[in-house]
Structure 1
Amino acid sequence: MNLNETYWASRYREDETGWDLNRISPPLKEFIDQLEDKTIKILIPGAGNAYEAEYLFSKGFEQVHVLDIAREPLENLKLRVPSFPEENLHNVDFFKFHDTFDLILEQTFFCALPIEKRNLYAKKMTSLLKNNGKLVGLFFNMEFKKKGPPFGGNKEEYLTYFGTEFNIEILENCTNSIPPRQGNELFFIFKKN
């Protein structure tokens, strides 16, 4: 399976987006609600329909950047939020993207990548984060019966990718997941070393 732009674009066109909550993820909303500095530069990679970006923008965060390999979800965000800055919408392969950010939010992007790209993901995150920047989000804490995406995993595995590049501030069971994911998600805050 080639998880490229064509694959993901077709998932949006055919409305095969089972990961899409049609709203911001409750754990990320709770985290965002605690952010005070609205000048920070934020990236949401593999953002899909980017409800997190919409929420951040509505709260006055203006340096929110959204990245997706498929154009369709970026267009969906622009339809919902016409004033969202066009220059902050990046239709590009995550691994070919270059910039630096204070905060990167992870929401269902990591689990969409083939497992063999997880080390590359961790390394790419370090290059995209400024010194003391943070990677914050959710990982699945389960294995899936069918072949992915999504691809599952567990805390011990994730530590092998992120334990040397980041200070693991939090990596624990998520207490406010949506009901279908309750008990199957880990919330994390990783700070770049």
Structure 2
Amino acid sequence: MKKNKLDKSYWEKRYKENNTGWNIGYTSTPIKTYIDQLENKTLKILIPGAGNSYEAEYLWSLGFKNVFLIDIAKQPLINFKARVPDFPDDQLLNIDFFDLDNEFDLILEQTFFCALDPSLRENYAKKMSELLKPKAKLVGLLFNFELTEKGPPFGGSTSEYISLFEPKFDIKRLETSINSIKQRQGKELFFIFEKKTIWP
């Protein structure tokens, strides 16, 4: 059975049909808890596969003004701009994540990794490392259920994530999320990965 091609037209169609089961309508609790302990409002933050990005809206409301959203689909960025009209247009990026060329202090992962075809996971880890400044962090949630061909969302396991990310990141935390939303309790891992500094 041929899998869906998860390209721009696929995601645009999902938004057009309002087929967005991942959209919970607010900032997910584990991400909000992490954001709440951030003190440096000048951090340059990326939210990839941002969707309607309630996380970015929350950051903006707290005074984080150096936030960038990227999504291959245009509609969720339009939705976001309607909710947050003073958000700068040049920080809304309607391009393919893998084409992005920039550097960030923090990248927040929320239902982007699980939406990619699993064949792109090594590319994801490599690109995340490229986009982060030395010692910068990739933080967020990964699903903890069996990886099958049925998806998105596509699952995975702790051991898989360690083997995938450990070459380029120091794994600071990777554990079952204790404050996931009800629908995802026991199915999410909260993680903090810090980009390794490779000395010459």
Q: Scaled by the length of structure 1, what TM-score is found?
A: 0.98
SS state of the match for residue 170, structure 1? Answer: strand
Structure 1 residue 143 displacement after superposition:
2.2
**Alignment gaps of 5+ in structure 2:** none
Structure 1 residue 185 displacement after superposition:
0.3
SS state of the match for residue 194, structure 2? Answer: strand
Map of 2:87 onto structure 1: 84
Map of 1:156 onto structure 2: 159
Q: Distance in 2 between matches of 1:107 and 1:174?
A: 13
Map of 1:114 onto structure 2: 117
Map of 2:25 onto structure 1: 22
Q: Scaled by the length of structure 2, what TM-score is found?
A: 0.95
Count of aligned residue pairs for this structure pair? 193
Q: How does 1:91-130 map to 2 (within 5 A)?
A: 91-130=94-133
SS state of the match for residue 63, structure 2? Answer: coil
Q: How does 1:29-40 map to 2 (within 5 A)?
A: 29-40=32-43
Contact 2:68–2:93 under 8 Å retained in 1: yes
Contact 2:148–2:155 under 8 Å retained in 1: no
Task: Return the match for 1:43 from 43, 46, 64.
Answer: 46
Aligned pair 1:140/2:143, yes or no? yes
**Alignment gaps of 5+ in structure 1:** none
Alpha-carbon RMSD: 0.9
Residues 66-111 of structure 1: CA deviation (Å, up to 9, x unaligned): 0000000000000000001111000000011110000000000000
Q: Distance in 1 between matches of 2:164 and 2:149?
A: 23
Q: Distance in 2 between matches of 1:183 and 1:8?
A: 27
Structure 1 residue 2 displacement after superposition:
1.1
Structure 1 residue 144 displacement after superposition:
6.3
* Counterpart residue identity of residue 42, structure 2: T
List structure 1 segments (4+ residues) > 4 angstroms apart after TM superposition.
Answer: none
